[in-house]
Amino acid sequence: MEIQKKIDYQRIAEAIDFIRKNFQQQPDLDEVAAKVHLSPFHFQRLFSDWAGVSPKKFLQFVSVEHAKYLLKTTASSLFDATYETGLSSTGRLHDLFISIEGMTPGEYKNGGKNLQIHYSFAESPFGNLLVASTPKGICHMAFTDDETTALNQLQMQFPNASFKQMTDFLQQNALYIFQQDWQQLDRIKLHLKGTDFQLKVWETLLKIPIGGLSTYGSVAAQIQSPGASRAVGTAIGKNPVAYLIPCHRVIRAVGEIGDYHWGATRKTAIIGWEAARSQA
């Protein structure tokens, strides 16, 4: 069994290396599968189990990352970035950015230009919060011990956006959750930027009941990627909206609390607070 796992890993590593080196040719499933001497069906299933995404989606990630690099660090036009990435048209690049980045290539290159973001600082049972919103919904929420650092981190995500310190209805509605108004959770609007895999993980977290806990392996199984516990952990670590997307409800399989972007002590406090109130 261990020998087979080692062989499988070597095949996946070889496939990933092949995709990274040849993404500009946009190889299809059959071509990559042949490279590692597997049938397309077997390779598709094996790759998805190990990487957490399909070979096609992984190729898209690599392509978009290259286009992002060109748009951000060079004077490349959208046409140039499309050509250098190996895509057939600027329309395909546009569609990939929309599905993977949550914004158009132009918006990415402009760093959120013309995007109006409202932000405010608020108190919670677990310390101060920075909460930010676009006209579409909450785009960022983070526990913070230093308001200046927290605001700088938000601005780095959208370097060319317009920021205004203002508490709006979207923020107020989201903060009601700390008053145990959990029945209103479905009314909270989120405006998230993430990959399909990240969004799938974050959506699964929303299904963990208040007062309940899950594990990385369980989340991976629920998104039908049982071998992707590590990828799930990475996606959870990228959660841009503290508490509303309850990454604090995921612990290690051995029962340990585990890491938390905003501190293990805070995570423990949140879990205990929710458990007490859900029982009450």
139 tagged catalytic: no
Do 253 and 216 contact (CB within 8 A), yes or no?
Answer: yes
d(CA 101, CA 195): 6
d(CA 221, CA 217): 6
- As a whole number of Å, the end-to-end CA separation of the chain is 48
Residues 6+ apart with CB under 8 A from 148: none
Q: What 3-state class would DSSP assign to 122?
A: strand
- H or E element at residue 139: strand 137-143
Catalytic residue among 150, 247, 251, 271: 247
Tell me which residues are annotated as active site.
247
